[in-house]
Chains A and B, each alone.
Chain A
Amino acid sequence: MGELCQAEIAIIGAGPAGMAAAIRLAQAGIRPVVFDMGNAPGGQIYRQLNAPVIGETLSGTDYYRGRRLLRDFSRADIDYRPRSQVWWGQCESDGVSLGVVDSAGASRWHVHRLLLATGSMERSWPFPGWQLPGLMQAGAAQILFKEGGLVPEASPVLAGSGPLLYLLAWQYCRAGCAPQRILDTTPASRYRLPLRYLRGAWKGRHYLMKGSRMMLALKRAGVPIHHGVEALEATGRNRVERVHYYWRGHWHDQDTSLVLTHFGVVPEPQLGRAIGIPYDWHEGQQGFLPVRNASLQARDRVWIAGDGGGIGGALNAEREGRLAALSMLTVSANDVADRERERRRLEHRRATDLAVRPLLEAMFRLPSHWLSEQPDTTLVCRCESVSLGELRRAIEQGAVGPNQLKAFTRCGMGPCQGRECGESVTRLLSTVQARPPQEVGYYQVRPPVQALSLGELAAMATDA
């Protein structure tokens, strides 16, 4: 399977969590290998910050905050490997084996300890027409903005829920292409929740103030915001021409060529699941999170830091990266006290920062029955074009769990390997069978977790 390489510690992901961990390990004299799919370090939030295309007035200050991390990362002694995809992993008694593909081909790695810092992905949230061209996730629009300074030619409609939706709307306003309107699925009453979560609200006041400032700026720019939109549909012949939304007891239509949706983010699960880490349903985050102990360790020799372990945002990811690094270092007697102090300081800041999360989770909570209320024609599995109706019929015919549903319908068997439909299937079964999502479970995930080209597969077959 290609060349066999060794390292003491491997980190997968060069977002804030992976970068912070690598920097801390390098400070302690360990040279970690860092694999990342991107062209440059930064992960999702600090994408393209190594050579920024948009200025701070357009991006907002959070983006430029990452420069310090990028600088420390570039100066530290780290075996950083951009454009490398980890497609396979296996825990063994003396370490972890990894399969990596990069532009030079495939290689196999054996490492003693592994940190997964693979981040999150946008939550898939099906409704009729969500597969049409002209409908993209808000994160995708932000990537176009950060990587190329690209904005929509015609004013888009933004739909969904959560801080990232408003961040994008705000950025577009600054860039002179204010959205036509915002279809917020969060009921207006939820924005009064901080009054009930006073402690979290106080500790997270900067997050809340940032949010209110953004909303105020949008209102000033004259962007209509509809709170409490209950259903969505996109229609058009070959692409989106119109969006329909159910609001205040009626359906409304809006002509548009671009709809950008956001329904929160969830940990990207493929690699963690493929190497056998258990995932538990988290009611607050409405998704599956890997099970970790207080030192962020998920199993023997494997740690998980950042949004891949649960959604906590960029600052939390950075702190978790450092905490994981401290836990991975085998401690020598003379620096025990220093490390312990560092750890406690980080833990304290992390707890303060995370105190706002239950409030944010309650504020942006999505209706868990959403999917089961969609019409039968709604696609759930985009890759294999499996509709909600087909899934309902398969459930009636006796498909009791996600893996059976997959075998019955091909749902989750396409190129994305179930990333886009996995939690939808869990949610649907949970509603239909009135069982908690934890009990319903998730697809069995098997490698390759990154799609390999035929050439790469052939190269490995001949080398093996």
Chain B
Amino acid sequence: MFQRIAESSVIDGVDIQLDGEIYHIPVTLSVAAAVLFIKGDEEYRRHVDGHARAPFCLMGCCHECLITIDGEPNRRGCLVSVAEGMSIERQLEGSQDDG
């Protein structure tokens, strides 16, 4: 869905795990951006109403990017940068706490 433009400067990469698979990702990306980059937006998150949802604002307002990071659920993926060894799990079950 998104691709890197050839003109962008070279950025260091980190290895992250997304749902158990390892990906090499530019270190400047947020978790939400990384998931959009790897998987696109179709299966980012299931909402409480059972429908698919994906990041909307990428700046901490809408809370559409909720995702499990290093075991902790409902983090705003757009506010957390990817880091070496980070483990990310998408919340595809359609249940979510208000937290």
Binding site for B on A (CB under 8 A): 37, 39, 44, 48, 51-55, 58, 85, 121-122, 131-137, 139-140, 143-144, 147-154, 175-176, 238-239, 257-258, 268, 382-385, 413-416, 419-420, 450-455, 457
Contacts and interface: CB of A to CB of B under 8 A. Distances in A.
Given A48-B28, A147-B33, A148-B11, A451 B99 contact: yes
17 contacts: A133-B54, A139-B59, A140-B57, A147-B29, A149-B8, A151-B5, A154-B1, A238-B42, A414-B98, A415-B99, A419-B62, A420-B61, A451-B74, A451-B76, A451-B99, A452-B99, A455-B72
Interface in B1-44: 1-5, 7-9, 11, 26, 28-30, 33, 36-37, 41-42, 44
Contacts of B99: 415, 451-454, 457
Interface string B56-89: 1111111110100000101110110100000000
Q: Is the interface of B mostly helix, strand, loop or mixed?
A: loop
B36 A144 contact: yes
A385 B94 CA distance: 13
A385 B66 CA distance: 16
Given A121-B59, A453-B74, A133 B7 contact: no
Given A414-B63, A415-B66, A151 B7 contact: no
| B contact residues, range | 35 or more
B57 A148 contact: no
Nearest to B42: A239
Given A53-B9, A122-B57, A415 B74 contact: yes
Q: Across the A-B interface, give the 5 residue pairs with the lowest CB-CB distance, nearest first.
A: A149-B8, A133-B54, A140-B58, A133-B41, A415-B63
Nearest to A450: B60
B49 interface: yes
Given A51-B28, A453-B99, A150 B2 contact: yes
A172 B54 CA distance: 22
B90 interface: no
Contact of B60 (A37, A175, A454): A37
